Amino acid sequence: MIAKVLAWMRMSRHLGEFDYKIPEELSSYVQLGSLVTVPFRRSTIIGLIDDIAETSTHTKSLRPIRSVLSIPPLSSGYRAFLHQFADQHRISPALALKIAIPKLSSRFAKAPSTRRESESHELNIVMLPHLPPLPRLRFTPQREWICGTREIRYAVLQKMLFEERPILCVMATHYDVQALYASLPESLRKVTRALDPLSSTRSIAEAMLDFLNGRARIVMGTKRVAFFPAPASTQLILDEEEHRNHHQFEQNPRYHVRDVLHQRSQWEHFPLHITGHSRSLDHVQRNIPSTVVFPKNTNRVNWIALPDHPGRPLTVPMADDLQESVTRGQVFLFFNRSQETARFECRECARSIRCEICSRTLTQSLTTLTPNDAWCGLCNTVKPIPTLCPECHSRNIVLATTTLRRLEKAVQSAIGNRSIQRCSKKDPTFPLRSSVVIGTEFAIPYLALSHLSMVGIVDVDQLLAGKSFAAEFDGFLFLRSFLARLRAYRTIHTVIQHRTLTPEFCHAVETPSPEPFYHQELQRRKDFSYPPVVPGIALYGSSQDLMDIRRTFPNLELLGPVRTTGKHYLLFAKRCSVDHAMIQTLPDSVWIDPNPERLPIR
């Protein structure tokens, strides 16, 4: 049988800088089921795998070795290694990339874009038995989508786990892994290996060996389980909790575990079963057969209109529900961002001032000539601050912004001396054991929903305020999926504060079947055409430098609003409006990219 190399790399700054050379006695240690730890430098990884293939008695005449690498993203040279790795071992580059980088998700910190070549690592090698190389022929795997609450999905999963075949079960969070493992009978627990995020490399390797040798028939865990080597006739199960839209970046790509399982089911002929609260847009578009079981809405949902309670981020009804619910259990207040841009709001009716062209909320412009101008981020319209509210004709228009700290002060005045905890990407505080947790989407996977008594959404319009219909649609799917998660718990009381939502929209959010919205989004994607691409240049600099450029050169034609890129600002302009004299007069703090990749007209 062909040995499969599983390499888990960990950064080790305590190791010295030295080249690693494969010793002659390595073949006696590299055996089926053995674990060998060796230090090495990143530049020797390709030779390390090749030398193992040459020196090991199990792989001497069986080339190529199909390897699964769990390596964090290193540098741009790592892409060349992936392509060389894919060509050498006869797998596609896409599959090599998705298999080789399993820890690229929003939960993990971003890795540095460049690292020194002399940095040392620690390599744990496990020689595992595997099947012959897979054919390159693609086929349509067996896939099924099962919708329902957590209780319904657990019942379906337990029925699948009783089947006499190997199963890889990927859950959304480690709380789901613990809950599903606790619900299994004793006969299934003996052949099940449940892994959590804190499992060591050796325990993971032992679970793999038990799974491949037949001592364990079921392996369940979070995302890392999706990359486990598996024997023939393995069944893949993915339990999706919510809809997430993962944006792809060249320097730090992120891949959803669903894409990885789709690739494995397509290449290794594994049937794939996906369970969730609602069908995702991807599966509707692919026409994957589904078994849908829509439950009844057992929890209470209270919609509160913010215009009826102006002047406070926490309305009086939500504060009353908060005081009552905090005595029965934990309370979670969801706010989409840790700090949002200051928007113009009427203090009398609590309505946001919107753009007359595209009906988007006007925010404070920080890059125009007048700092207090009102700016629309969608159509790039800049106008003076309105003096009258279009709804109530009041002159009491102010700049309003909500932050987690401001929300924490309002909650503290409502509940008294009980403990409050903030949780966001900037404040990652764990575990979440306080009486009231105020957090963003980052905190949702770490909540124990069975301990919650109330979930409050502070401003649902801010969650749905996207710059395009696709962004609004993703916000709607996330809100509807999050409410579907809470529907399985009868003890949770949901309170949602909104500004301009209609009763029809609120009913659509609570309705289990969103098929009209799916068809609307699919039709929109079908009819959508990308904006034309024109020749242009990109100007980088501080906000003050770009303001001076716009003031000095009024004939400069822009191709969209000013965008932020970390510490600097970015401005697109038409190439025909930039002459040589303008380039000569630019300050040294502003630099130009004459050939940007894409300049769409907004």
Contacts of 62 (CB under 8 A, 6+ apart): 2, 3
Instruction: List every span in the chain annotated with CATH 3.40.50.300.
Output: 143-292, 300-340+402-525
Which of these, 246, 336, 235, lies nearest to 282 by C-alpha position?
A: 246
Helix (H, G, I), strand (E, B) or coil at 163: coil
Q: Which CATH number fits domain 536-593: 3.30.70, 1.20.58, 3.30.720, 3.10.50?
A: 3.30.70
| pLDDT tier, 36 (very low <50, low <70, confident <90, very high otherwise) | very low
Instruction: List every span in the chain annotated with CATH 3.30.70.
Output: 536-593
Residue 447 has a pLDDT of: 78
Helices 77-88 and 93-100 sit at what angle, rounded to 10 degrees? 120
| pLDDT tier, 567 (very low <50, low <70, confident <90, very high otherwise) | low
Residue 492 has a pLDDT of: 84
Residue 114 has a pLDDT of: 37
At 73-122, the pLDDT tens digits run 333 444 555 555 566 555 555 454 444 433 222 222 233 333 333 333 33
| pLDDT tier, 334 (very low <50, low <70, confident <90, very high otherwise) | confident
Residue 209 has a pLDDT of: 80
β-bridge mates for residue 330, sequence order: 452
Asked if 167 and 219 count as a contact pair (C-beta separation under 8 A), the reply is yes
Residue 119 has a pLDDT of: 37
**CATH code for residues 143-292:** 3.40.50.300
Structural domain 300-340+402-525, CATH architecture: 3-Layer(aba) Sandwich (3.40)
**Rounded Cα distance, 194 and 173, in Å:** 12
Contacts of 116 (CB under 8 A, 6+ apart): none
**Rounded Cα distance, 446 and 196, in Å:** 13
Residue 39 has a pLDDT of: 38
The residue count of the chain comes to 602
Contacts of 196 (CB under 8 A, 6+ apart): 174, 177, 178, 221, 222
Helices 77-88 and 45-55 sit at what angle, rounded to 10 degrees? 20
Which of these, 122, 127, 121, lies nearest to 28 by C-alpha position?
A: 127
pLDDT of 217 strictly over 50: yes
**Rounded Cα distance, 432 and 329, in Å:** 13
At 470-529, the pLDDT tens digits run 455 566 667 776 776 676 677 788 888 887 777 767 776 666 554 555 555 555 545 544
* CA-to-CA dists, residue 596 to 75, 217, 233, 561, 601, angstroms: 22, 52, 48, 16, 14
pTM over 0.75: no
DSSP secondary structure letters along 531-554:
PPB--EEEEEE-HHHHHHHHHH-T
Would you report the helix, strand and coil content of the chain in percent, each value rounded to 5?
A: 30, 20, 45
**What value does the mean pLDDT take over residues 424-453?**
78
Contacts of 262 (CB under 8 A, 6+ apart): 141, 143, 272
**Rounded Cα distance, 241 and 171, in Å:** 8
pLDDT greater at residue 39 or residue 566: 566
Give the dihedral sign, CA 161/272/125/198: negative
Residue type, 556: L
| pLDDT over 70, % of the chain | 45
**What value does the mean pLDDT take over residues 331-343?**
71
pLDDT of 162 strictly over 70: yes
pLDDT greater at residue 335 or residue 135: 335
Asked if 498 and 460 count as a contact pair (C-beta separation under 8 A), the reply is yes
